[in-house]
Structure 1
């Protein structure tokens, strides 16, 4: 931290755990504001930047994309007398739907793994040729999985 309480991007990165590249991108996108530049041309941040980075982290932790956070920030800055809560609620609904879809996809993948392990139990527990040298192992027992090149 500089003697006037300002932080360089490196210090902000160390204090938040967010990579410098991300912080520069957030600054370029208007999600974090600088308070100017140092004499050596480093971006300088005050303690508000810590709050901004933490807020971005919380929103990312709720599944929002950076693009959604940018839209929310823009709506906040230009909201006038309109409350921001309903916009955030809409974004949380979108995030929940996206995550629910992803969870369903991951469950289907786990089911395929379970099916494969049940079907190939003997081969998986032994030094079977299928896994040691056959360039085209027979995986057709699960119609949802297509072996390479077939």
Structure 2
């Protein structure tokens, strides 16, 4: 089939999923949230999409890859379609700032776990090397074997 015919032919949600690699369930959610528009329904009641949906799905994927939540993407698209004249770029910049802050918080939390692992290993170095580590109150009774 020529590429032009393929582009102009409506796609089902399954075809859109195959072409984008995004799960059907996620595409339905995006559609229900108004992030992707359909052409309507087929006679068999399938959702139909045009080539613009490919761009929308890729754009959503790009924003998700930058750490934005689906709610934030929805917020951004609402601002984009709003005719108030406010620049969308500044809104996106704020969303990226929020994403960055969430990421810094997750990194800090993971760093704390790494520090606890290092402390535990230092405190129990001999037990770990022997392979016989018992916890206080261990129901196996190994705390009384010493």
Normalised to the residue count of structure 1, the TM-score between the two structures is 0.81
| TM-score normalised according to structure 2 size | 0.83
What is aligned with 1:62? 66
Q: Which runs of 5+ in 1 are unaligned?
A: 138-150
| Cα distance in 2, alignment partners of residues 135 and 86 from structure 1 | 58
Task: Kindly report structure 1 stretches of 4+ aligned residues shifted beyond 6 Å.
Answer: none
**Whose relative contact order is higher, 1 or 2, with alpha carbons under 8 Å and at least 6 apart?**
2
Equivalent-residue separation in structure 2 for 1:109 and 1:129 (angstroms): 20
The answer to whether residue 97 in structure 2 is matched with residue 103 in structure 1 is no
> Partners in 1 of 2:140 and 2:67 — Cα distance?
40
- Greater CA drift, 60-69 or 78-87: 78-87
Change (3 A) 1:136 1:5: farther
Structure showing the higher helix proportion among its residues: 2
Q: Write the deviation string for residues 3-45 of structure 1: whole angstroms up to 9, x where unpaired.
A: 7621111111111111111110000000001111112111011
State the Cα distance separating 1:135 from its structure 2 match.
Answer: 3.4
Aligned alpha-carbon RMSD (Å):
2.4
The counterpart of 2:51, out of the listed 32, 47, 53, is: 47
1:127 correspondence with 2:131 = yes
2:83 paired residue number: 79
Equivalenced residues, count: 136
Alignment CA distance shift 1:32-1:136 (3 Å): farther
| Residue 114 of structure 1, aligned match among 75, 93, 118 | 118
Name structure 2 gaps, 5 residues minimum: 142-146
Tell me what 1:147 maps to.
Answer: none
